[in-house]
Amino acid sequence: MISPNKPLALSEGQVDVWVAVSDRVARYKNDSLFEAMLGPRELEQYRSLQYPETRFDYLLSRALLRTVLAGYLDCDPGSLEFDRSEFGKPCLAGKSSPLCFNISLTEGLVLCAVSVGARVGADVEFHGHERSMLDVADQYFSALEIAELKRLPAARQRQGFFRYWTLKESLIKARGEGLSVPLDSFSFRTSGGAAKLVSYPEGFIEPDEAWDFRCFDFGEDYSAAVSLAAPIKSLRLMESIPLVASVAIEEPQMLCSHARQDALSAAF
């Protein structure tokens, strides 16, 4: 278990990835405590959401972000203030810190990636909604990625699709410039949990940046990716129940399993 009483530390080239599973967090019924952390704009956004599940996932995303960042900055989660870049990427307001972060939420899962001194982006996607993946790929993937995806056995194409999708989204989010560059204008190749950017438009990458990427799956229904504007020297995965406890994730595939829940009962 990760101690909540000691400030968290990050070293250069380290990426910490924090995950919260909605149905596990919901059992603690901490909604009112989570709401108490939010700023006025967050509260307005939260109260405007119509569906209970969407409302809770949004609330959890803000609680996770605030408690995670407060752990590194050694401050009260409710004291943090946020701003946005001209393209809408969230950033800390009023604090001089080399801390970089990015958050992603999908149905039932929230993910937050944190680094120091290098831009970071993260994306997580739920597999559950049926759609024609190859039709979507034709619109947003490069010709190289589409060809690689079609070469995969049918049983692996779903995983392959979401790996490319989360990699592209995480890089776009890390760059923080929105969709100023189309998704089909750059290409990834993947091997296991690693990925390489193999083609991109001129000027897409700054000369002094050496981008690095990781992708992983949480159970059978979620895929995620992280992009860092520097070599990734280490990557830690943690599951968090905000305001309760956090534990290391040794096997990402086990995150959403019943066995994982049994193991967490003692820790949480």
Q: Which residue has the higher pLDDT, 85 or 199?
A: 199
Task: Say if residues 67 and 4 touch (Cβ distance below 8 Å).
Answer: no
Q: How many CB atoms lie within 10 A of CB 32?
A: 7
Region 82-100: what's the mean pLDDT? 82
Ordered by start, the domain boundaries in the chain are 14-21+98-267
Per-residue pLDDT at 28: 95
pLDDT > 90: what percent of the chain?
68
Specify the pLDDT at position 257.
64
pLDDT surpasses 80 at 129: no
Please name the residue that has the structure tokens 């995480």. Answer: 170
Alpha carbon separation from 89 to 25, 72, 169, 228, 254 (Å, rounded): 26, 20, 13, 15, 31
89: confidence class by pLDDT, cuts 50, 70, 90 = confident
pLDDT in tens, 202-224: 988 887 889 999 999 998 899 99
What is d(CA 36, CA 16) in angstroms, rounded to the nearest whole number? 25
What is the Rg, in whole angstroms, of the alpha carbon atoms belonging to the chain? 18
Considering the domain 14-21+98-267, what is its CATH architecture? Alpha-Beta Complex (3.90)
Q: What pLDDT is stored for residue 264 in this prediction?
A: 54
Q: What is the mean pLDDT of the chain?
A: 89
Asked whether residue 142 carries a pLDDT value surpassing 80, the answer given is: yes
